Amino acid sequence: MKGVVFSNVLIYFLLCNLAFAKECVNLFPNKAELASSTMRAKLSSINDEAWKKEMLSSYQLRSPANEGPEASKFQAAEEKFDNTMLRNTNATGDFKLPGDFLKEVSLHDVRLLPNSMHWRAQQTNLEYLVMLDVDRLVWSFRKTAGLPTPGAPYGGWEDQKMELRGHFLGHYLSATAMAWASTRNETVKQKMDAVMSVLSECQKKIGTGYLSAFPSEFFDRLENLVYVWAPYYTIHKIMAGLLDQYTLANNGQALNITIWMADYFNTRVQNLIARSSLERHYQTLNDESGGMNDVLYKLYGITKDPKHLKLAELFDKPCFLGLLAVKADNIAGLHANTHIPLVCGVQNRYELTGDEQSMAMGTFFMDIINSSHSYATGGTSHQEFWTDPKRIATALSAETEESCTTYNMLKVSRYLFKWTKQVTYADYYERALTNGVLGIQRGTEPGVMIYMLPLSPGSSKAKSYHGWGDAFDSFWCCYGTGIESFAKLGDSIYFEQEGKGPGVYIIQYISSTFDWKAGQIVIHQNVDPVVSWDQNLRMALTFTSNKGPGVSSVLNLRIPFWANPNGGKATLNKDNLQIPSPGNFLSVTRAWSPDEKLFIQLPINLRTEAIKDDRPQYASLQAIFYGPYLLAGYSQHDHEIKTGPVKSLSEWITPIPASYNAGLVTFSQKSGNSSLVLMKNQSVTIEPWPAAGTGGDANATFRLIGNDQRPINFTTVKNVISKQVMFEPFDFPGKLLMQQGNNDSLVIANNPGNSVFQVNAGLDGKPDTVSLESVSRKGCFVFSDVNLKAGTALKLNCQQPDDGFKQAASFVMQKGISQYHPISFLAKGSNRNYLLAPLLSFRDESYSVYFNITN
């Protein structure tokens, strides 16, 4: 966490919005907002003891069945859950998944290719994993075990004061195992092996099976209902990381450590039940427990030890899962990321036990999130909590959509796809990955990620309670899931169909290779980068043989819902293939050989999607998509688009041609040793050189338009001298740089008459400068100040040229410091226009995602 400056505004919003939080998870009946991780981090780190005491005075982990108007509903759900679910599987045998279920593909067999943004994201993450220091990561584990502690602990949520410390190391074990499988990076391997050997040492030193970065007394507090910050959450991350080390990196020691930990917690839970009650154990689950059920089911899947199954079931939180069992969309007020991992747990349970109700719960959950609780990004949660169904329009803010919930929703949808092969789940996966995951890294800066993805009008990823994190001082929950997300981008591109007619389902169009052992081939998927000016997705599959002649097998290509049903093209070698309608698979059976090539071209639709809100006054609030890409408009606050009478989207949304990049320019002047740039904010001023991605770079970039409205290219100063041009702000298409008269400031407006300037050779006589002379006021030039300093407003000045004037009216003209994203569109409205680009490409720039679109 960046400092501990506390936002009263945030408290206010949390208090207003979450007063209805349910007993099921209400750790603080009178201060529901304290159940958010953001607030609990605050509680963990604050030095203000009086404030902490006051907050904690309302802490309670109580039984949902005991009181409150909601109690009977929860009680009924809980009973149904206990009676039908737990009892059904107490005596389970070995369940085999039906043969037509899809099998996941190992990360070891998939490689991303460098022409994809997914590969770049993977590389950025890899750099971060390698930057982290083992001694610092394990510091608190050694401390807890009583071992020497070289180095110093990291900051943020890994700080010594933070009760959640150690959670990130669990994610690190998972992420490094995934990154190792995906890239075979040796440094990552050395780091994860070093961590593993320290953890083994720590567990042995403690000697009970317990292993964590905090003492086991935290669990005493939990069981005695004394406030503590989510100790099982961290245990889940550690155990999950260990199992990933076992399954992906073949580390047998990791499995032994996990089993010993499971023994410890089994004894602990049984003792609590014997000493107190089962009810008391369930009360402890009202604190965030991550996916304890999930990791224990996973362990059971490996060991087949009934003790592990039984323990996993004890972490199936009845008051929440019961709601899903009785198909009640009653999740409003619940902390989202406390509960989504539980759904993954029961989905895993279905795969292991065949319990159909577990399957139905996952399906129902996905249905309600998809229909009523998700944003256009596929993400869910507002200020970490769910709101009322179909009330998303009033759940937009800077604290919208916690990133780690999206990571977990991907897991939920992935299970459903494996079981059903329904394109809709693969579509969801693509939506959430593209719009809710890929853009949470700040460009290619390792270790800079966000917690919340803001979605209110005029949002910025840099401006939420947390903003962008720091590589060594954040370690939020979303950092943990972030490093995993970017380490497993090779996942869920391919799924395998085993059995008599073996096959592969290709559900993501991401340039990659898949070494398909069963099919005896390597599949090479090459996707052309998607651009706005050519509205097609093109993908070619080629094959190399892999130790065999290649068996007859079927390849199934997803035809996404966003594909235009008309105009698609598919060929197998030279033969045309019929493309099925969107929502289906193109299936081709063949003994694939190196001579063959399967090509597909899918026209990409532009579309709008209404926000999930059934109140008529919000019907016009819509998001704009280009295929899978959610487009955001550069905007400080506006989100109104008046289209006028139009018949189709293409009348008001048009692609920005690639050639427009050639007309982008930036103007600067020297002040001492530093360069200042001409920038448009509220006014037009001269400002310090902006860093990339801060939004200042967009404000300092203008597009050249000729007097005849045609685009003008800029290659050298020489080729624009004597031309009459207008300057359109990069991020505010349709507006122009305009003069208002002698000695008046320049403004951004749309009056072409006063916006035409003649580009003259710089009055200062230097070869790389220009001077901009007003065409309607001859002899008047754009002028900064003789005493140049940042913040100076630019004016038109008609005074007689002297040396100071010449200097202040001469600007270095160079190629624009911002460039259009290849997927950029112009959205035209009668009130204003917007430059649209994929949300994933934004860094600090302000944007609007939902527009109020009216005619």
Give, as one character, the DSSP assignment of residue 373: I
* Residue 477 is a binding residue for Zn ion (CB under 5 A): yes
Least separation in angstroms between CB 654 and Zn ion:
38
Give, as one character, the DSSP assignment of residue 84: I
199, 478, 782, 853: residue in contact with Zn ion (rule CB under 5 A):
478
Least separation in angstroms between CB 234 and Zn ion:
13
Q: Which is nearer to Zn ion, 126 or 452 (CB)?
A: 452
How far is C-alpha 435 from the geometric centre of its chain's CA atoms? 6
Site string for Zn ion, 371-410 (x = CB under 5 A): -------------------------------x-x------
Among candidate residues 268, 359, 274, the one with its CA nearest the CA of residue 315: 268
Task: Give the footprint of Zn ion on residues 334-373 (CB under 5 A).
Answer: none
Give, as one character, the DSSP assignment of residue 522: E
Least separation in angstroms between CB 383 and Zn ion:
12
Q: Which is nearer to Zn ion, 334 or 393 (CB)?
A: 334
Using the rule CB under 5 A, give the single segment among 90-98, 99-107, 265-273, 476-484 that binds Zn ion. Answer: 476-484
Dihedral sign, Cα of residue 249, residue 252, residue 253, residue 258:
positive
Q: Which is nearer to Zn ion, 244 or 401 (CB)?
A: 401
Q: Which is nearer to Zn ion, 40 or 639 (CB)?
A: 40
516 contacts 522 by C-beta, under 8 angstroms:
yes
Q: Which is nearer to Zn ion, 109 or 484 (CB)?
A: 484
**CA-based radius of gyration for the chain:** 29
Among candidate residues 171, 185, 386, 443, the one with its CA nearest the CA of residue 290: 171
d(CA 332, CA 156): 30
Q: Which is nearer to Zn ion, 39 or 404 (CB)?
A: 404
Q: Which is nearer to Zn ion, 40 or 828 (CB)?
A: 40
Q: Which is nearer to Zn ion, 262 or 449 (CB)?
A: 449
Task: Give the footprint of Zn ion on residues 402-461 (CB under 5 A).
Answer: 402, 404
Using the rule CB under 5 A, give the single segment among 17-25, 201-209, 357-365, 469-477 that binds Zn ion. Answer: 469-477
Q: Which is nearer to Zn ion, 401 or 613 (CB)?
A: 401
Q: Which is nearer to Zn ion, 333 or 469 (CB)?
A: 469
Q: Which is nearer to Zn ion, 404 or 836 (CB)?
A: 404
Using the rule CB under 5 A, give the single segment among 187-195, 254-262, 477-485, 577-585 that binds Zn ion. Answer: 477-485
Least separation in angstroms between CB 438 and Zn ion:
17
Among candidate residues 764, 767, 765, 761, the one with its CA nearest the CA of residue 784: 764
Task: Give the footprint of Zn ion on residues 785-804 (CB under 5 A).
Answer: none
Q: Which is nearer to Zn ion, 196 or 404 (CB)?
A: 404
Least separation in angstroms between CB 440 and Zn ion:
10
Q: Which amino acid is at 112?
A: L
How is 15-77 classified by DSSP, letter by letter? HHH-TT--TTT-SSTT-GGGGSHHHHHHHHH---HHHHHHHHTT-----TTTSSTTHHHHHHH
Using the rule CB under 5 A, give the single segment among 19-27, 471-479, 585-593, 721-729 that binds Zn ion. Answer: 471-479
770 contacts 704 by C-beta, under 8 angstroms:
no
Instruction: Kindly give the pairing relationship between strand 597-603 and strand 536-545.
Output: antiparallel
Instruction: Name the CA dihedral angle for 572, 577, 583, 585, rounded to a multiple of 10 degrees.
Output: -50
Q: Which is nearer to Zn ion, 44 or 266 (CB)?
A: 44
Among candidate residues 295, 200, 322, the one with its CA nearest the CA of residue 240: 295
- CA angle at 47 for the pair 43 and 48, rounded to the nearest 5°: 85
Least separation in angstroms between CB 486 and Zn ion:
15
d(CA 674, CA 679): 15
Q: How many CB atoms lie within 10 A of CB 76?
A: 15
Q: Which is nearer to Zn ion, 369 or 539 (CB)?
A: 369
Least separation in angstroms between CB 737 and Zn ion:
42
Q: Which is nearer to Zn ion, 22 or 171 (CB)?
A: 171
Residues shown for the chain = 855
**Partner residues linked to 590 by β-bridges:** 553
Binding-residue total with Zn ion (CB under 5 A): 4
**Partner residues linked to 496 by β-bridges:** 103, 504
Helix (H) or strand (E) segment spanning residue 194? helix 186-206
| Alpha helices (H) along 304-433 | 306-314, 318-325, 336-353, 356-368, 403-420, 423-432
Dihedral sign, Cα of residue 61, residue 390, residue 393, residue 648:
positive
Least separation in angstroms between CB 452 and Zn ion:
8
Dihedral sign, Cα of residue 179, residue 184, residue 186, residue 189:
positive
Least separation in angstroms between CB 38 and Zn ion:
9
Least separation in angstroms between CB 447 and Zn ion:
16
Q: Which is nearer to Zn ion, 33 or 78 (CB)?
A: 33
**Which structure tokens are listed for 340?**
């989504």
Least separation in angstroms between CB 215 and Zn ion:
24
Helix axes 318-325, 71-80, angle to 10 degrees: 80
Least separation in angstroms between CB 376 and Zn ion:
20
Least separation in angstroms between CB 170 and Zn ion:
14
d(CA 210, CA 216): 7
Least separation in angstroms between CB 347 and Zn ion:
20
HSE at residue 841, side-chain half, CA atoms within 13 A, is 19
Least separation in angstroms between CB 402 and Zn ion:
5
Using the rule CB under 5 A, give the single segment among 315-323, 472-480, 516-524, 564-572 that binds Zn ion. Answer: 472-480
Least separation in angstroms between CB 384 and Zn ion:
8
How is 100-165 classified by DSSP, letter by letter? TS-EEPPGGGEEE-TTSHHHHHHHHHHHHHHHS-HHHHTHHHHHHHT----S---SGGGSTT-TTT
Instruction: Name the CA dihedral angle for 109, 112, 113, 116, rounded to a multiple of 10 degrees.
Output: 160
Q: Which is nearer to Zn ion, 399 or 402 (CB)?
A: 402
- Backbone phi and psi for residue 52, each to the nearest 5 degrees, phi listed first: -60, -45
Least separation in angstroms between CB 336 and Zn ion:
9
Helix axes 231-249, 167-183, angle to 10 degrees: 20
| Alpha helices (H) along 505-627 | none
Q: Which is nearer to Zn ion, 440 or 586 (CB)?
A: 440
Least separation in angstroms between CB 477 and Zn ion:
3
Interface residues with Zn ion (CB under 5 A) are 402, 404, 477-478
